[in-house]
Structure 1
Amino acid sequence: MVGVAVIGAGYWGPNLVRNIQATPQLRLTSVCDMNLARAEAVLGRYSTVRATSSLQEVLADPEVDAVAIATPAATHLEVAMAALEAGKHVLVEKPLASSYVDGHKLVTTAEERGLVLMLDHTFCYTPVVQRLRELVRGGELGDVQYVDSVRINLGLVQPDIDVLWDLAPHDLSILDSVLPDDVTPVAVAAHGSDPAGLGRACVAYLSVQLSSGAIAHAHVNWLSPTKIRTTIIGGSRRTAVWNDLDPIQPLALYDRGVDWPDGTEDRRVSYRIGDMVAPALPTGEALRAVMAEFAAAITEGRPALTDGRSGLRVLAQLEAASASLAAGGVFVPVENGRTA
């Protein structure tokens, strides 16, 4: 069993604690938070797991093989780097770091020391996204023509990052997971506003130009009174529609679209009207699958599905989005993309 300590007992930390305890390959050793009472509250009165406010104490513990970090984004570099330098494997919440340069430092350190550095891009481990990955990479949807995502609700406003850095990593990590390796982001444009006077964008629209000529779009919003979680992946053969709030039929495949004749004099568009199919999907909590992948990557000595490099690719797009937002929404090249 891999001994894991959770660093951060705030909003997401309790979820990590619960799923580590439910994963047979992992053993929860301790919970660390600057507020010791909060760490103790997460564990409960009768827990035999140790609560502490000392990160140094956790990293010096030989029973701790790995850490799961759920601290504010601005602290990810410091906490994750200390863990890697102490020889611990690291699972860290999104984003990997506050900048691409800082993220690259973490990835380089992990690779030099032969340690697993993994992002908790939770949505990538849902049964729906895993099926979408199979459909796109297996060619069942055909060539990806567009991706359109909406992620809005009356959200938890973050004190240190804007809505792009808070919510868009979900959509960008999903995009990174499902797209074929030869389709890469080449430029990003972002438009945002701060109608609530929060001092940072709380409504934003993100467009990603892909190397294939397709475009991906995401709408993220902290201020919507209604919650919407939808993703549409339009392909040349079929279109996949994912409604994350539908517990019965979250994924639907449509054999409907536009056919544009090639190589003929008749260039009139024809419309394809086919069936809709709702694939059967396995059940299971995505965060449980995250923990299983973390354990497997450590014990098998291999990169995780959402490894540090995937986190860097997301960071490259987030930085381009921030630069675009500051420049009035122009497209900004993604300098590193998948080759980072």
Structure 2
Amino acid sequence: MASGHVRVGIAGIGYWGINLVRTFAHDSRARVTWVCDPVPEARARALALAPAARSSERFEDLLGADDVDAVVIATPAVTHAALARRALQAGKHVFVEKPLALGVEDAEAVVAAADQAGKTLMVGHLMVYHPAVEHLAELVAGGELGDIRYLYATRVNLGRARRDENALWSFGPHDLSMIDLLVGIAPERVWATGESYLRPGVEDVVFMHLAFPDRRMAHVHLSWLDPRKERRLTVVGSRKMVVFDDVSSEKLRIYDKGYEEPPGFTEFGEYLTIRSSGVYIPHLPMTEPLARECAHFLDCLDSGQSPRSGAASALRVVRVLAAAQRSLEHGSTPVPLAPAGDRE
């Protein structure tokens, strides 16, 4: 790539897109060469961070530019799949914000386009690049927690009500990507219940349940109609339990708690004994997750490795979201997932 830099074109300079402009502009391995948005004021904000870039309101200009190696897409979710496919077919690497698509068929089409083009496809599942989540994944992989029994997540606040996606598709990818990273297999059944209180047909509160083939389970509560801001994931293992709280200054708390079976017993009440050996709060390097995520994308372009939030994991997340959406639309009926959703 020219001068050792990855030349980046960024489409969508809204609430989140401007952060992507800032992050890529500050990384010495990248050069933001194009910014694209239909709103002139948005393009002006982007150019203030990347003054050497060219700007356009037309996505086609990024695709036709010979000084763009990778396209970053931060447009409304309903456009993700179509724009990502077009960029891949134009021979560009693609970083697209979550969710990859609003349906399984569209997500599979994007993955197929990436395979055919031989280009890197990465989806912006930000939470899997959070230092606390990375540390938690290391604990799980190293057997520190024992066998994972169940997980539950809460992602709620009194926030901006969306029009083009419900709470499931807007918030759900964050928690599902973490659960996918930690559990390592796809669920076999998904069901969800929710309600639209603010806009008809757009669920602003959703409760989702996942059942895995090995008796593990997960529960996710999502809402932008709640009095408190909570971003919490609890993982209960056979040896230890962990709470990741992204709102707290203590991001990760590891509880050395659980039940133990004594070697011998005479009464049923003595069969299980509670073990409680305290709480450990690890010191974590709290670098910005977005900076880590964008750096990982550049690493993958340099090395050719598959991204942590690449096609396979992004497709599994979309499959779960689509199953949960079907459950919402059919009276919370459990929806089975095909084995094709399993980790490769």
Q: By how many angstroms is 1:259 displaced?
A: 2.9
Residue in structure 1 matched with residue 213 of structure 2 by the alignment: 211
| Structure 2 CA distance for aligned equivalents of residues 253 and 45 of structure 1 | 40
Q: By how many angstroms is 1:162 displaced?
A: 0.8
| Structure 1 CA distance for aligned equivalents of residues 95 and 315 of structure 2 | 14
Q: By how many angstroms is 1:286 displaced?
A: 0.5
Residues 89-115 of structure 1: CA deviation (Å, up to 9, x unaligned):
000011101111111111111112210
| Structure 1 CA distance for aligned equivalents of residues 237 and 285 of structure 2 | 24
| Structure 1 CA distance for aligned equivalents of residues 331 and 285 of structure 2 | 43
Q: Does the aligned pair in 2 maintain the 1:95–1:315 contact within 8 Å?
A: yes
Q: By how many angstroms is 1:191 displaced?
A: 0.8
- Which runs of no fewer than 5 residues in structure 1 stay unpaired? none
The question of 1:196 aligning with 2:198 is answered yes
Residue in structure 2 matched with residue 288 of structure 1 by the alignment: 291
User: Among residues 156, 169, 175, which one is paired with 1:171 in the alignment?
Assistant: 175
The question of 1:222 aligning with 2:219 is answered no
Residue identity opposite 1:316 in structure 2: R
Q: Does the aligned pair in 2 maintain the 1:129–1:178 contact within 8 Å?
A: no
| Structure 2 CA distance for aligned equivalents of residues 260 and 14 of structure 1 | 54
Question: What secondary structure sits across from 1:41 in the alignment?
Answer: helix
Q: 1:259 to 1:191 in 2, by over 3 A?
A: farther
Residue in structure 1 matched with residue 98 of structure 2 by the alignment: 94
Q: Does the aligned pair in 2 maintain the 1:164–1:318 contact within 8 Å?
A: yes
Residue identity opposite 1:132 in structure 2: L
Residue in structure 2 matched with residue 28 of structure 1 by the alignment: 32
Q: By how many angstroms is 1:293 displaced?
A: 0.7
The question of 1:153 aligning with 2:157 is answered yes
| Structure 1 CA distance for aligned equivalents of residues 50 and 153 of structure 2 | 43
The question of 1:314 aligning with 2:340 is answered no
User: Among residues 6, 17, 25, which one is paired with 2:10 in the alignment?
Assistant: 6
Residue in structure 2 matched with residue 127 of structure 1 by the alignment: 131
Question: What secondary structure sits across from 1:44 in the alignment?
Answer: helix
| Structure 1 CA distance for aligned equivalents of residues 14 and 125 of structure 2 | 18
The question of 1:239 aligning with 2:246 is answered no
| Structure 1 CA distance for aligned equivalents of residues 24 and 230 of structure 2 | 29
Q: 1:3 to 1:263 in 2, by over 3 A?
A: farther
Q: By how many angstroms is 1:31 displaced?
A: 0.7
Taking structure 2 as the reference length, the TM-score comes to 0.94
| Structure 2 CA distance for aligned equivalents of residues 207 and 45 of structure 1 | 42
Q: 1:134 to 1:56 in 2, by over 3 A?
A: same
Residue identity opposite 2:69 in structure 1: D
Q: By how many angstroms is 1:46 displaced?
A: 8.3
Residues 159-198 of structure 1: CA deviation (Å, up to 9, x unaligned):
111110110110000111122x3x4311111010122344
The question of 1:76 aligning with 2:76 is answered no
Q: By how many angstroms is 1:120 displaced?
A: 0.6
More displaced, 47-56 or 147-156? 47-56
Taking structure 1 as the reference length, the TM-score comes to 0.95
| Structure 1 CA distance for aligned equivalents of residues 49 and 257 of structure 2 | 56
More displaced, 96-105 or 40-49? 40-49
Residue in structure 2 matched with residue 250 of structure 1 by the alignment: 251
Question: What secondary structure sits across from 2:297 in the alignment?
Answer: helix
The question of 1:57 aligning with 2:58 is answered no
- Which runs of no fewer than 5 residues in structure 2 stay unpaired? none
Q: By how many angstroms is 1:48 displaced?
A: 2.2
Q: Does the aligned pair in 2 maintain the 1:146–1:214 contact within 8 Å?
A: yes
| Structure 1 CA distance for aligned equivalents of residues 303 and 168 of structure 2 | 34
Residue identity opposite 2:113 in structure 1: T
Q: Does the aligned pair in 2 maintain the 1:9–1:70 contact within 8 Å?
A: yes
Q: 1:59 to 1:264 in 2, by over 3 A?
A: farther
How many correspondences in the alignment? 337
Q: By how many angstroms is 1:43 displaced?
A: 2.1
| Structure 1 CA distance for aligned equivalents of residues 267 and 154 of structure 2 | 37
Q: Does the aligned pair in 2 maintain the 1:36–1:51 contact within 8 Å?
A: no
